[in-house]
Amino acid sequence: MPIRVTPYTQTRNGAAVPLTKLDVTKSSIDKANAIRARTATATNAMLERDSDCYLQVLRSGGVVANHKRKEPHVLRQVADGVLIHQSEFCQSNAAVVQGPAGVLLIDPGILGSEIATLADDLRELGQPVVAGFSTHPHWDHLLWHARLGSAPRYGTARCAAASRVFLSDTNWKARIAAFIPPDIGEHVPLDLLGLITGLPAEATQIPWDGPRVRIIEHQAHAPGHAALLIEERGVLVAGDMLSDVLIPMLDLNHTGDPIQDYLAALRLLEGAAGDVDVVIPGHGSIGGADQVRARIEQDRAYMDALRDGHVLSDPRIGPSAEDGWDWVAGVHERQLERLRELAASDGHANS
């Protein structure tokens, strides 16, 4: 049976819909506007809260449009043997890499119904999940669903350690709930969150029976963040790097010099991405070969501007941001504020 690959597009509010089902009505626009208004309120409230490094990302919610839609969920082929499923939440991309006996599933998704459907589709195809991978220890990349089965789920050693520490707090579900937009809270399956096995620190590839998947660990967005390079497919799975809708979001809790670390991570990706034809970001649009370079340059320009205090011009912030992504400007403001706080405390420490 052929895998269900449907030509699709994205509505302006980020929901992926089959081309044949695109139907923008006044009520859908009103609904999207209402969601955006709620999201903006939630964003402001959440940005006031403490910054727990494992939770901070996407606490601002973003796009939660139409998660009760009736259209079928779809897998979309982006390269030979590589498919994605894009969640309606923040254009979150799950990546599926086909191997001889089953698939590797990277960052499975957000909503329980989406992940369960993905699991069923893969089972129907006779391609069970034989391995999982979480690119980093933030909630939206650590989810799992019982229907995916009990394949080993991997992450870098640092990612697994961070997840373990977080789960050791008996109150972790309540802590995470505070960061999940209320619109989707009841639809996010938390039971199997973060149960990953850390690979040895020196591991350079994922141990599985399939195309070689190289681990490119770096210190940028989260502890133990890893991009994955599937060389023989020309695919880079970037985790929460190289997005066309999200600005670089720094790990402001764990690194001495977050900007330099982020720039070093971009150089690492640049060095690895020479022959990449497809980039799959954790959130946003899939990019072609030209986009790999363009996104690295765009993120580098953002970091340079942060470092040097330039006036920032970035299409992901301000009026040019995609509809539903206006909250990214708030993330930028919060980063600026935290960097100023860090610089001030450094000044005190050095005086």
Residues lying near Zn ion in the complex (CB under 5 A) = 140, 240, 282
Nearest approach in angstroms of CB 30 to Zn ion is 28
* Tokens linked to 34: 């209402």
CA distances (Å), 166 to each of 14, 161, 163, in order? 30, 9, 5
Q: Which amino acid is at 9?
A: T
* Tokens linked to 62: 């973003």
Pairwise CA distance, residues 197 & 110, whole Å: 20
Nearest approach in angstroms of CB 283 to Zn ion is 6
Nearest approach in angstroms of CB 275 to Zn ion is 26
Nearest approach in angstroms of CB 273 to Zn ion is 20
Q: Are residues 225 and 218 in contact, defined by beta-carbon separation less than 8 angstroms?
A: yes
Nearest approach in angstroms of CB 210 to Zn ion is 24
* Tokens linked to 320: 């040019």
CB closer to Zn ion, 104 vs 245: 245
Burial class of residue 264 in the structure, from the number of CB atoms within 10 Å of its CB (0-12 exposed, 13-18 middle, 19+ buried): middle
CB closer to Zn ion, 85 vs 102: 85
Tokens 């909630």 locate to 139
CB closer to Zn ion, 125 vs 177: 177
Pairwise CA distance, residues 232 & 200, whole Å: 24
CB closer to Zn ion, 139 vs 277: 139
Pairwise CA distance, residues 245 & 299, whole Å: 11
Pairwise CA distance, residues 328 & 321, whole Å: 8
Pairwise CA distance, residues 5 & 10, whole Å: 15
CB closer to Zn ion, 60 vs 117: 60
Nearest approach in angstroms of CB 58 to Zn ion is 5
CB closer to Zn ion, 58 vs 130: 58
Nearest approach in angstroms of CB 123 to Zn ion is 26
User: Residue 316: how many CA atoms within 13 Å on its side-chain side?
Assistant: 21
Strand partners, 240: none
CB closer to Zn ion, 88 vs 240: 240
Burial class of residue 154 in the structure, from the number of CB atoms within 10 Å of its CB (0-12 exposed, 13-18 middle, 19+ buried): buried
CB closer to Zn ion, 172 vs 179: 179
Nearest approach in angstroms of CB 280 to Zn ion is 12
CB closer to Zn ion, 93 vs 98: 93
Nearest to 151 by CA among 86, 229, 189, 206: 206
Nearest approach in angstroms of CB 346 to Zn ion is 28
What's 127-156 look like in SS3? CCEEEEECCCCCHHHCCCCHHHCCCCEEEC
